[in-house]
Amino acid sequence: MSGRGHAQTVNYAGVDYFRIVAAVMVIAIHTAPFSGISKDFDFLLTYCAGRVAVPFFFMTTGYFVLGSWRKNGNNAGSKVIRFIKKTLFLYAVSIVLYLPINFYSGGLPGSAGEFIRMLIFDGTFYHLWYFPAVIIGCFVVMMLLKKFPARTVLVITILLYLIGAGGDSYYGIAARIPALEHMYDVIFTVSSYTRNGIFYAPIFLLMGRMLRERKASIEKTENTAGTARTDSRTGRKNSTVRDISTGWDIAGLCLCLSLMLIEGYLTFSLGLQRHNSMYLFLPPVMYFLFRLLLSVPGCAPGWTRDVSMIVYIIHPGVLIVLRGIAGAAGLDWLLAENAFVQFITVSTASFAVAVLIDLVYTRIRIRKEAHENA
């Protein structure tokens, strides 16, 4: 979710534009836009299909930040350090930003232990759990890669994810087994959810990294062996292989997404869910989705990265402000009670404020650089 600059020099248009889509999905998760139309439809679209948003951001970190990291830490280690420093800074700014709301709502921790749990796992506001999760997840993946081969680490992260799913969408089953119930009771004394940097984030971070390494390996092989196929008439690279691969990715995404929707609806309707972030078919969905996004040609403007991050941070605050305005203006019936209108207004206002913040910051940065170079 980080990065800035002008139009990207590498073809990552699909990934960068989807950052905006993912930010909108996160807003939808916090506003339930279609609940007034159909609660089942809203659940399937928002709390099943919409759950790709945060794993997507984890995979972008795995791809762009961890993708070039090596076990000895000498290659691109500084990139990881810069990312963690920036994430810690954003987390600290977000904590301060939402401190008045926590104070007003009585959401401040009541003990040192609760404060530590909020800071490390839960987040100090309901959406801020992402920041400690991505930091912890990066450390978990790097630590495992230093000790085990990538395939072994993949198996470990899958097992961690399965444990997390047992405390999330499948808690109703796990809680019936005394040993598992006791294990999750212990986990929930430390973290309110298994959706965190230990059980949830590592598999998606690793998947992003593995896709980056796979791409680098293919490019290296083609460049070394001179195997890039060209069309004899046009002289351009033959896209037949890519088209076939894209077709399989589309088919895989459609199949896995359909199965995830069925899985989500069944676990919901059967009352198995403690939360609804971790589905068994979510990792396969993300694999095919991210591959498809990587196949989109072209470049996206650099603002997509920063604006999506800003929207993620500020949208709950925008939601609270708009609710206050609606109450003062007597428009609760429209801006608060109508979920779809609330979703549209929060999304529009959040992106407007985010673009304004990004423009101001960019101008300040440009003036600072010009002053330093004068």
- pLDDT of 60 over the 80 cut: yes
What is the mean predicted confidence (pLDDT) over 123-130? 97
Paired residues of 230 in beta bridges: 237
- 244 in a structural domain: no
159-170 per-position pLDDT tens digit: 999 999 999 999
- 115 in a structural domain: yes
Alpha-carbon gap, residue 256 to 234, rounded angstroms: 37
Angular region, 189: left φ>0, alpha ψ -120 to 50, beta rest: alpha
* Three-state DSSP state, 199: coil
- 22 in a structural domain: no
- pLDDT of 236 over the 50 cut: no
- 63 in a structural domain: yes
In Å, how far are 109, 165, 182, 208 from 62, measured between CA atoms? Answer: 32, 21, 33, 4
- 103 in a structural domain: yes
What was the pLDDT predicted at 6? 42
Indicate the number of domains in the chain: 1
Cβ pair 126, 277 in contact under 8 A: no
What was the pLDDT predicted at 10? 63
Residue with tokens 């709390």: 47
- pLDDT of 191 over the 70 cut: yes
What is the mean predicted confidence (pLDDT) over 253-259? 98
Cβ pair 346, 339 in contact under 8 A: no
85-104 per-position pLDDT tens digit: 999 999 999 999 999 999 99
- 111 in a structural domain: yes
Angular region, 226: left φ>0, alpha ψ -120 to 50, beta rest: left
Instruction: Give the domain extent around 200.
Output: 54-219
Alpha-carbon gap, residue 81 to 78, rounded angstroms: 5
pTM (two decimals): 0.91
Residue 311's nearest CA partner among 21, 9, 5 is: 21
- 95 in a structural domain: yes
What are the tokens at 313?
A: 């941070």
What was the pLDDT predicted at 219? 72
- 194 in a structural domain: yes
- pLDDT of 139 over the 60 cut: yes
Average pLDDT over all residues of the chain: 91
- pLDDT of 240 over the 70 cut: no
> How does residue 72 score in pLDDT terms, banded at 50, 70 and 90?
low
Say if residue 241 is exposed, middle or buried (CB neighbours under 10 Å; 0-12, 13-18, 19+): exposed
